[in-house]
Chain A
Amino acid sequence: MKTKITAVTLAFATALTACAPQQTGGTAGAWPRKGKPITLIVGFAPGAAVDAAARVIAPVLEKELGTNVEVLNKPGAGGQIGYTALTNAKPDGYTIGATGSPSVVVSPLDPSRGATYTRASFLPLGMQVLDPMLIGVAPGSPYTTLKDLIEAVKKKPKSVTVPTTGVQTGEHFALADIQQRTGAQFAPVHFSEGASQAIAAFLGKHVNAYVGNVSDVRDLVTQGKIKVLGVMSGERSPFLPDAPTFAEQGYQIEAATARGYSAPAGLPADVQKKIESALGKAIEDPAVVAKLKNLGLATVYKSGPQYTTYWQEQESTFKNALPLVRNEG
């Protein structure tokens, strides 16, 4: 029987040493310490663009930095739960997170959300994509053009339900913008865990129309499961060449979600430099760009400082629009 006990002990010991470096260490040295993984927090549920982009970039970062990069989903409250975890983490470079605008920009501006972070709590490391918003309906819907839909909603406010990825997220702002400019008041349903839930609700016909990003629907368009009525960008999206823009149909509305990566503020300068450069390389890696293209995502790289400036601009833009998307209850 002794051999068996040895076998078991051995198994445990091997397994324990496998994760030992994560707990021991403590010796000061080069970042990242060998064997200590970096956690990449995603504030939305698995699936859809934020999560997918993070999972595509993680292994490239891994190669650049020489240590594991693990994606951790912390969904809820339209990203706020993940952002809170990110800003609460030690600024030691072992925790970074995906940050998306408007959600990350706006959540600290509304006092009713009680966010524990502000813009200053984040250190923007780099921006990856700009993903335009759009509105679409199921094939066979009574609304065949954007005008149909908007006129119908104007006539009967709140008669058309649409999903968002949470209160004060990109979708919510886009709806507010539509309401302000056209007078059409949609009824938002907040799926606070992210776009994968919102898409499921749309495909299950639990909501009447879909508001979301180009990347959410690219695959659905090829399958004929959604008819895109309008894209909220200046030009047609290269991923949806047949879908008209809002502007083409006489509505001057543009909206997009900007996604990048940030660390908690207070990162040592040398660590910051290392991550920023690794991230820049990873984002612009041709293989990564190609994989994102497959997902319907256009890479628009901004370096850490550029992303910081962009964030500040976004903050002043969204501050003005905030009253439109206040927490109702």
Chain B
Amino acid sequence: MDVLSELLSGLATALTPQNLLYAFIGCLLGTLIGVLPGIGPVAGVALLIPLTLNLEPTSAIIMLAAIFYGTQYGGTITSVLLNTPGEAASAITTIDGYAMTKQGRAGAALTIAALGSFVGGTVATIGLVVAARPLGDLGLRIGPPEFFALMVVGICLLVALAGRSMTRALISGVLGLLIAMVGIDPVAGAPRFTFGSERLLDGISFVAVIIGLFGLSEVLAKATTGTSRAMTPGLRALLPTRTDLRRSAPAIARGTGIGFVLGLIPGMTGSVSSLLAYGAERKFSRHRAELGSGAVEGVAGPETANNAHANGALVPLFTLGIPASPTIAVLMGAFLQQGLTPGPTLFTEHADVAWAIIASLFVGNVILLILNVPLVRVWTAILRIPYPVLTALILMFMVVGTYTINFTVFDVFVMIGFGLLGLLLRRLDIPLAPLVLTLVLGPLMERSLRESLELSQGDFTVFLTRPISVVLLVIALVIAASPLLRLRKPAALTDDPEA
């Protein structure tokens, strides 16, 4: 019970009134910053770092972790209420989150997101406490070939996102891959599809694409069809119903698993976790038919996954000193600032600090929950703004948000362009989710494929001679082939008791 006693003493440090106050302020500020468009967790945390510089190491890192949780949740708020994701990882939440808002269930969506984030974050932190070392080793076993196989599984989830027509889903998926190709070749360095434009060398901004595709195209679609009924939430709808909770539970469980495991792998991003969690809901949820039109699972799964991922990503930081994501890197910067070297030596040389940080992760999660559930009422009050005014506000948010990514007007044009493309795709009944999926997975898949082939010196059997890779590829095959199997026994589709 050595671990437990160390954790308890860590908790004692984290729970001093002073540190609790820092955690609380961090969470609140983080949430406010996260609500701002275009400022995701990385920029948000970076922006607020100066606040923590004069604090002692433990307090500083506690506050940063709280800011980090806050910004992440803030991004979810805009995804759900305004259909404008604040960051890549909550992009997929817009689909069902905003659909729930349109049904007047924004409050339920936000509460479920907070609950899911809490569960995902807490379970992942427990994982970090009880089995950091073996989990770190597990993450290391995912080399380039396994990474590639995992990406293949992800791409195969495209069949789950297909909706009515596989062809249309594939069109959307290929479009995503194409957009992902623009920019500098990630290995050899040659420019691709840039047409001599310097602007395109940096690739097409993911957040601009997402805001345009989802946010702007929705506004445009509404404007052209002329429906503008108010979305005033009923009071009852502020809290999730028991059915919501019951339906979310399995989604939260799946999201936790997916996010945590992917978080362990160096080089994996949080948006992959949330996308795959969404794909998993589309594939395995008992209510999969409702996903896309405001199903609570579509919020619970990805939001849980991205928080579990964020906490899982601390495992490689603590066991190997490798920050698995940009936000973790910012945290690592804070460590270095305080003269602490992240890695296994942290536990031997500064055990008190290490455990206080882990304890503060638990505390941060709890604060996030108790801070945000009451605030849900405040946030949803935004929807009481009359629709025409709200639309103007949303448009402003989208323009400012895309501008602030790199402070270039070019990104605003990209956003508008993708808004028009999104409108066109909606008209043609082409689903948008596959595009996002391939846009995120494409570059990772390309990189791992090229690394794998260098590893094997051009031999493709490298994917078939490594056990983890083979298992993953088989899973991919089963997922890809499942629509065919379903055709054979259509009864399996309609056995949903609640349908």
Chain A residues closer than 8 Å to B322, beta-carbon distance: 47, 196, 199-200
Among B198, B377, B404, B451, point to the contact of A116 (Cβ < 8 A).
B198
Question: Total A-B residue pairs with C-beta atoms closer than 8 Å?
Answer: 185
A47 adjacent to B332 (CB under 8 Å): yes
Q: Which residue of B lies closest to A78 (CB)?
A: B189
B267 within 8 A of A: yes
Q: Which of A274-315 contact B (CB under 8 A)?
A: 290-291, 294-295
B96 to chain A, nearest CB (A): 23
Chain A residues closer than 8 Å to B442, beta-carbon distance: none
Chain A residues closer than 8 Å to B328, beta-carbon distance: 46
A204 to chain B, nearest CB (A): 4
Report how many residues on chain B are interfacial, defined by Cβ distance under 8 Å: 66
Q: Which of A40-87 contact B (CB under 8 A)?
A: 45-47, 51-52, 55-56, 58-59, 62, 68, 70-71, 73-74, 76-78, 80-81, 84-85
B357 within 8 A of A: no
A291 adjacent to B336 (CB under 8 Å): yes
Q: Determine which residue in A46, A158, A197, A201 has the highest number of CB atoms from chain B within 10 A of its CB, and name it.
A: A46
A222 within 8 A of B: yes
A190 within 8 A of B: yes
A88 adjacent to B198 (CB under 8 Å): yes
B113 within 8 A of A: no
Chain A residues closer than 8 Å to B184, beta-carbon distance: 76-77, 80-81, 84
Q: Which of A109-131 contact B (CB under 8 A)?
A: 112-116
Q: Determine which residue in A45, A114, A206, A290 has the highest number of CB atoms from chain B within 10 A of its CB, and name it.
A: A206
Among B36, B345, B381, point to the contact of A16 (Cβ < 8 A).
B36
Binds A, one of B135-143, B363-371, B474-482: B135-143
Chain B residues closer than 8 Å to A188, beta-carbon distance: 454
Among A1, A113, A190, point to the contact of B190 (Cβ < 8 A).
A113
Q: Which residue of B lies closest to A328 (CB)?
A: B188
How does the 8 Å CB contact mask read for A230-249 relative to B, with 1 for contact and 0 for none? 00000000000000000000
Among A8, A68, A166, A290, point to the contact of B187 (Cβ < 8 A).
A166
Among B140, B341, B447, point to the contact of A295 (Cβ < 8 A).
B341
Chain A residues closer than 8 Å to B39, beta-carbon distance: 19
A22 adjacent to B407 (CB under 8 Å): yes
Q: Which residue of B lies closest to A108 (CB)?
A: B189
B190 adjacent to A81 (CB under 8 Å): no
How does the 8 Å CB contact mask read for B332-354 relative to A, with 1 for contact and 0 for none? 11001101010111000000000
Report how many residues on chain A are interfacial, defined by Cβ distance under 8 Å: 74
A55 adjacent to B187 (CB under 8 Å): no
A219 within 8 A of B: yes
A187 adjacent to B457 (CB under 8 Å): yes
A175 within 8 A of B: no
B344 to chain A, nearest CB (A): 6
A23 within 8 A of B: yes
Chain A residues closer than 8 Å to B53, beta-carbon distance: 59
A8 adjacent to B320 (CB under 8 Å): no
A213 within 8 A of B: no
Q: Which of B365-419 contact A (CB under 8 A)?
A: 377-379, 381-382, 384-385, 400, 403-404, 407
B381 adjacent to A4 (CB under 8 Å): yes
Q: Known A47-B332, A161-B455, A200-B320; judge A190-B187 contact (CB<8 A).
A: yes
Q: Known A16-B36, A204-B142; judge A190-B451 contact (CB<8 A).
A: yes
Q: Known A15-B36, A56-B337, A201-B143; judge A112-B190 contact (CB<8 A).
A: yes
A327 within 8 A of B: yes
Q: Which residue of B lies closest to A67 (CB)?
A: B50
Q: Which of A6-34 contact B (CB under 8 A)?
A: 7-8, 11-12, 14-16, 18-19, 22-23
Q: Known A81-B184, A188-B454, A203-B320; judge A116-B336 contact (CB<8 A).
A: no
B129 within 8 A of A: no
A200 adjacent to B140 (CB under 8 Å): yes
Chain A residues closer than 8 Å to B141, beta-carbon distance: 204
B33 within 8 A of A: yes
B186 within 8 A of A: yes
B346 to chain A, nearest CB (A): 10
* B→A interface (CB under 8 Å): 32-33, 35-36, 39, 43, 46-47, 49-50, 53, 140-144, 183-191, 198, 201-202, 266-267, 316, 320-323, 325-326, 328-330, 332-333, 336-337, 339, 341, 343-345, 377-379, 381-382, 384-385, 400, 403-404, 407, 447, 450-451, 454-455, 457
**10 further contact pairs, Cβ within 8 A, besides A8-B382, A14-B32:** A5-B382, A46-B329, A77-B185, A192-B186, A201-B451, A203-B140, A204-B140, A219-B343, A291-B339, A295-B336
10 CB contacts below 8 A, A to B, read A22-B404, A23-B403, A73-B329, A115-B189, A167-B188, A205-B140, A206-B455, A219-B343, A294-B339, A327-B189
